[in-house]
Amino acid sequence: MNLSANLSASLCATTLAPSNRYLASAAVYGVVLAVGLPLNTLSLWILLRTHGFRSPCAVLMVNLAVSDLLLALSLPLRVYFYATLRWPFGTATCTAALMLFRVNIRTSCIFITLISVDRMVALALPMRSRSLRTSGCALKCCAVVWILVTVLCIPEIRLLYKGLTGCENIPCFEMQASRGRSQVVSLAQAIFLLVLLLVNVVSTVVVVIVLRKRPSDGAAKVNNKMNVILIFVVNMLVFIIFFLPFTLQLLTFNYNNNSEVIRALVCLASVNCCLDPLIYYFSLDSFWQDKGKRQTDVGTYSLSRSMERS
């Protein structure tokens, strides 16, 4: 209760003066919205139309696309806020928009890691993992992720909502730079993201070792190896470029609170929704082809099935 009161007093006293920095934030979010919203909408449509839920990898990617799409749908509010420095939409809308960003960061990290683990297990243990790597198992894992993240966000939602209640001028998205964020939550999220990064690193190393031991017979084999490696390269880039700086900032516990640095890192983290579609492209062969055409491409389709269902 004391934390909520302190947060409310701090936020309600915040005044925002027009600045080029805010306009730059509006421009960045506008570009991410213009690229991320149509790209993730198209990716989700293609995933559902051509792959559906027939493989665990496709299930994970559908959920990743949904997570990115939810973030993209909240970006118009960010663009409006930073362009006008006004928030006429109320406390509940601000809380929801803030939590969509935090949920996206958490779920995206988890789904990207699950995709890496799924690809690694399919390559390293194709026969032993057949009973575990099913669409049903992937659906259950995704449901657990959404439920767990939602439940863990409830205390934050209550704190944010109470902290904003009563403010005449809500400095909505500037709350990312406030001292009111729980240090325990910040540390837990930072450690969790670093653990996921470690899992991605281990998965990448295992895949490289497995691919080096397998003989290369023909151009098709070489191309497939390159595609597999690109999956993990994209996953690692998303973590290192978009999530790692934000994670390191959380580890500082906001003692050296710098609103400009935090604002820049939040902008950078939001860009991840524009790069995630590359994961879909490299992870699923014939991503852009319809069912009929994909089935005629015997070599590519059989290669995809061996990776997805083995």
- The predicted-structure confidence for 107-126, as pLDDT tens digits, reads as follows 988 999 998 898 888 888 87
Among 164-173, 198-207, 257-266, 291-300, the range of highest mean pLDDT? 198-207
More confident residue, 291 or 264: 264
Give the tokens for residue 34: 């213009």
In the chain, domain spans: 2-309
pLDDT at 144: 95
Give the tokens for residue 200: 């991605």
Q: Is the pLDDT of residue 106 over 80?
A: yes
Give the tokens for residue 254: 């906001």
Q: CATH number of the domain at 2-309, please? A: 1.20.1070.10
Confidence grade of residue 2 (pLDDT, cut at 50, 70, 90): low
Q: Which of 7-21, 42-56, 193-207, 257-271 has the lowest mean pLDDT?
A: 7-21
Judged by DSSP in three states, 93 sits in helix
Backbone torsions φ then ψ of 31, nearest 5 degrees? -65, -45
Nearest to 242 by CA among 279, 204, 293, 286: 279
C-alpha angle 34/36/38, rounded to 5°?
Answer: 75
Tell me the per-residue pLDDT of 26-84, one tens digit each, with 9 for 90 and over.
999 999 999 989 988 988 898 888 878 888 888 998 999 999 998 898 899 999 999 98
Confidence grade of residue 283 (pLDDT, cut at 50, 70, 90): low
Cα of 20 vs its chain's centroid, Å: 28
Confidence grade of residue 140 (pLDDT, cut at 50, 70, 90): very high
pLDDT at 220: 41
pLDDT at 243: 84
Q: Give the whole-angstrom CA distance, residue 77 versus residue 88.
A: 10
pLDDT at 113: 92
pLDDT at 76: 93
Confidence grade of residue 308 (pLDDT, cut at 50, 70, 90): very low
- The 8 Å CB, 24+ separation contacts for 295-304 are 299/220, 303/220, 303/224
Whether 8 and 163 have beta carbons less than 8 Å apart is answered as: yes
pLDDT average, residue stretch 278-287? 61
Q: Give the whole-angstrom CA distance, residue 263 versus residue 108.
A: 20
pLDDT average, residue stretch 140-169? 86
pLDDT at 159: 83
Confidence grade of residue 13 (pLDDT, cut at 50, 70, 90): low
Whether 273 and 72 have beta carbons less than 8 Å apart is answered as: yes
Residue 224 burial class via C-beta count within 10 angstroms: exposed 0-12, middle 13-18, buried 19 and up: buried
Tell me the per-residue pLDDT of 181-207, one tens digit each, with 9 for 90 and over.
556 777 787 888 889 989 999 988 888
pLDDT at 130: 78
Average pLDDT, the chain: 77
pLDDT at 67: 92
Whether 108 and 187 have beta carbons less than 8 Å apart is answered as: no
